[in-house]
Amino acid sequence: QVPLVESGGGSVQAGGSLRLSCEVSEFTSSNFYSMGWFRQESQKEREGVATLDSDDDAAYVDSVKGRFTVSLDNAKNTLYLQMNNLKPEDTAMYYCAAQRRARMTASQALKTPIFMDAWGQGTLVTVSS
């Protein structure tokens, strides 16, 4: 299993910003069909937040469009999630994930976290009002 290591979570007030990072050790983005960020609140299902596909197209869940940006630095083997104008409803555990099973669009990957075959341990984001 490919190790993914997230960092950058923390506590901020509403309107603030955070940048999450995900280091993909020993592999490059060319090894994956899809990479992205998912989040899970307590007692709720994990949902896709932002994903990238092998064509570098991105997809976002409606609630974060215009506020979050997903990007990949191939030189650093690191996936980022820039989160601006954070809201209390963004509070969740955020996970980095990737998959090498099948080629799919970023939108498909966003909606089907079950296809991801590599997950990080998660980083907690807490947004207070």
Block mean pLDDT (10 aa), the chain, length 129: 85 98 71 91 94 93 98 89 98 94 93 92 96
* pLDDT value of residue 28: 53
Residue labelled with tokens 């590599």: 118
Return the biggest CA–CA distance within the chain.
Answer: 40
* pLDDT value of residue 1: 58
* pLDDT value of residue 54: 87
* pLDDT value of residue 11: 98
Which residues are bridge partners to 127 per DSSP?
Answer: 12
* pLDDT value of residue 32: 81
